[in-house]
Structure 1
Amino acid sequence: VLNTSNSGNSWSASQTGVEFRWYNVEGVLPGVDIPDEIYLICAHHDDISEDPLYNAPGADDNGSGTAAVLEAARILSDYQFHRTIKFVTFSGEEQGLIGSEAYASKAESLGHNIMGVVNLDMIGYLDDANHDLDVYCDLGSEWLADTILQFSSAYVPGLIPYKVVDPSFNRSDHASFWNEGYSALLHIERAGTNWNPYYHSTGDTVGTLDLPYVTEMVQLGLASMAELAEPYVVGVEERDIVRKEPMRLALVIARNPFSDKVAFRVAKPSHLSASLKIYDSAGRLLKEFNPIQSEKETVTWDGSTDKGSVVSSGVYFVKLQSGPQTISEKVVFVK
């Protein structure tokens, strides 16, 4: 059952002397057996133009993202998932991310375990023949971007996603979640040659959009939510008794200290990729194993760096990350 509300966020704001009451809108599809782990698919439902009070069609910015969230809710609400999916649209984005800031701040203060956020903003205009998009992330959200790129290849091979690691890109609602420490992405049409010329204008109408491209963008968002939340499927005999427990991230280090090779045995959730990074005492990244795809995998390190040199004797720091889970350990290299 999909439960809807205004997510507890509403406020008054004025524009050109006219006061409005603004709301966020939230639909919740509760997880069956891991409901406290939450994934969000979101968009902003407000728009703007040179005539904002009377003519702001906002088809691309951001009717396209809002329609995608509604379509994802319509389809996924017929299924059950292990984790909770929230379908959220925000107001006040054009005025400074007001709605998403209120939502993310409240979620953090209440201790909501938001595992990842996919924000859809401007997903309908093509500037050339390439069906491509930018997937913006910050450093803490790279795991989610890498995972989404895998989903794109598997489910929507016609799309060409580009991962953009840019923590300073704060021009849409994903940034409100970054500010609260959550993993979040922005999916947005890629302006390879030209930015949408109808942006923030009365010309931003449905006729300027490429609907097959919009369909692919919606499919990626929908498939990503379904995979991340994991479908809850049981046979007749197992109904009412099956409970799937998620695998937690684990790291076992063999042969530490080491002079030849050290082995890292990784166990991780099957639906997420992982990365293992090795740093020196100054915090410099020396070696990266990424992505680790298998649910259980062993990787070895012989003391070499990604630049081809060999480290000197000393203590080195290992960071394993999969989704929001992180494990940090130390290894000692002795020549």
Structure 2
Amino acid sequence: MFSSETFAQSHASTGASSAPVYQPFLKQLADGVSADRLETDIRILAGFENRHTLSDTTSDTKGIGAARRWIKREFEKISEECGGCLEVFYVNGTVGGENRIPEPVQIVNVVAVQRGTADPNRVVMMTGDIDSRASNVMDAETDSPGANDNASGMAGTIEAARVLSKHQFPGTIVYAGLSGEEQGLFGGEIVADYALENNWRIKAVLNNDMIGNIVGINGVINNTTARVFSEGTRPTETDREARIRRFTGGEVDSPSRNLARYIHVMGEQYIDNLDVMMIYRLDRFGRGGHHRPFNDVGLPAVRIMETNENYNWQHQDIRTENGIEYGDVIEHVDFDYAAKLTALNVVSLAGMAKAPAPPSGVEISGAVRPSTTLSWDALNPEQNPQLEGYKVYWRLTTSPVWTYGRLTGNVTEFTLENIVIDNYFFGVASVSEEGYESPIVFPGPIGSFGD
């Protein structure tokens, strides 16, 4: 009888390795993220005093209007430095008659698009939130610097653009500052609709919401872990797809879950002293984030954030009561930690944009056979000139990560001999000539990243 260790050794000897090729370029990108630049940007954003969705839009020094105009200027400066490589614009929508937005107001998002050289409509996206809030969610006047929630995530998105815009990628990278998060996730909804209307084929949304705090309300101080929240079954799943999932599995293999696994691998390979925790949940209990509107329309999206939150420093008026400090102020942000999580985004975005598109049309067969066969559609060679071939993966059904993998060459079907379909979960990734891999795609509609 084989033990798990013996099984792993036996497959390693036949070339069944799950580790993607190490890419020095990605390590260089990670090392290029600057904690000092992040500190500067977080201080500027916090210095607008109040970025509430309903706050001042005309002042040049205070309110959400000043903040979004500054963000747009920063993206434009980055674009100038790379010879106009970014398309920078606002994506707007009017919202009113809601519990937290009683009167009509413009929700203004700032978007910067770095077009891919081969497949400009294939998109990976990083987002941060522009707005902030005080204790009363309807209070648009009280100072609410929102240094960690979410100047940290917004500054990280700007810094990612600085680092990645120096290079070209086959796929498109989008950097977005989203508004209206505290009032109801409206900015994400507006941008998700815009993406669908403009035929963006979104393969990943990395939402960064609070990436700068290391001091937890539980007393833990930790700068070596990060959380990635990902949804299992998509809300857009049809009855037919649910019936397929019941018999084939896939509850933990949605594209969002396999996106989280991709980020986990990137963290292990390229970010020093960081353990990426995959949380199998859409978000924290009773909380929400701007990845959800993308999930709501069936797009792969995750939330990246700190592990140890301090609720006294979130959604609070700045004050001291009974010796306890309240408020989301700059003194509570760890800039080195924010740089570490920004670098995690950078290598994940770059890896996906460098790789070919995730395979589509992935199917599996092997009932009552001593082997498992996976098949998929050939990728468009014009959109994926870097394609070398594909890689099939498998893991025990109780394993959170992909354990075994085998390169197939540039084929559209591959059989794993003496690997019984009933005992494992399976998936397929595309691989570039340089060894960059796409996220892994679970067979059937449950795991599809879309065409």
**If the TM-score is normalised by the length of the shorter chain, which range does it land in?**
0.7 to 0.9
Structure 1 unaligned regions, length at least 5: 232-244, 279-284, 307-317, 330-335
Q: Which amino acid aligns with 1:87?
A: Y
Specify which of 208, 214, 225 is matched with residue 132 of structure 1.
225
CA 1:288–1:264 in 2, change beyond 3 Å: closer, same or farther?
farther
Does structure 1 conserve the Cα–Cα contact (< 8 Å) formed by 2:364 and 2:443? Answer: no
Q: What's the CA shift for 1:207?
A: 1.1
Query: What is the 5 A alignment of 1:1-335?
Result: 1-7=85-91, 9-11=92-94, 20-50=105-135, 52-127=140-215, 128-139=221-232, 140=254, 141-167=256-282, 169=284, 171-191=288-308, 195-201=310-316, 202=318, 203-230=327-354, 248=359, 258-259=368-369, 261-264=370-373, 290-296=402-408, 299=416, 300-302=418-420, 305=423, 320=427, 322=429, 323=439, 325=441, 327-328=443-444
CA 1:12–1:328 in 2, change beyond 3 Å: closer, same or farther?
closer
Offset from partner CA, 1:241-268 (integer Å, 9 cap, x none): xxxx6584686979x5655x11435789
Q: What's the CA shift for 1:142?
A: 1.0
Does structure 2 conserve the Cα–Cα contact (< 8 Å) formed by 1:319 and 1:328? Answer: no
Looking at secondary structure, tell me which structure has more strand per residue. 1
Does structure 1 conserve the Cα–Cα contact (< 8 Å) formed by 2:359 and 2:428? Answer: no
Q: What's the CA shift for 1:225?
A: 0.9
Does structure 1 conserve the Cα–Cα contact (< 8 Å) formed by 2:393 and 2:406? Answer: no
Shifted more, 297-306 versus 88-97: the winner is 297-306
Number of matched pairs: 294
Does structure 1 conserve the Cα–Cα contact (< 8 Å) formed by 2:113 and 2:174? Answer: yes
Does structure 2 conserve the Cα–Cα contact (< 8 Å) formed by 1:147 and 1:273? Answer: no
Offset from partner CA, 1:53-77 (integer Å, 9 cap, x none): 2411000000000000000111211
Shifted more, 31-40 versus 107-116: the winner is 107-116
Does structure 2 conserve the Cα–Cα contact (< 8 Å) formed by 1:287 and 1:304? Answer: no
| 2:182 counterpart SS class | coil
Could you tell me the percent identity over the aligned residues? 23
| 1:108 counterpart SS class | helix
Q: What's the CA shift for 1:21?
A: 3.4
Q: What's the CA shift for 1:287?
A: 10
CA 1:90–1:188 in 2, change beyond 3 Å: closer, same or farther?
same
Root-mean-square deviation over aligned CA pairs: 3.6
CA 1:49–1:266 in 2, change beyond 3 Å: closer, same or farther?
same
Does structure 2 conserve the Cα–Cα contact (< 8 Å) formed by 1:151 and 1:224? Answer: yes
Does structure 2 conserve the Cα–Cα contact (< 8 Å) formed by 1:320 and 1:328? Answer: no
CA 1:103–1:257 in 2, change beyond 3 Å: closer, same or farther?
closer
Distance, in Å, in 1 between the alignment partners of 2:388 and 2:364 is: 20
Match of 2:39 in 1: none
Q: Which amino acid aligns with 2:231?
A: D
Q: What's the CA shift for 1:182?
A: 0.6
Looking at secondary structure, tell me which structure has more helix per residue. 2
Match of 1:314 in 2: none
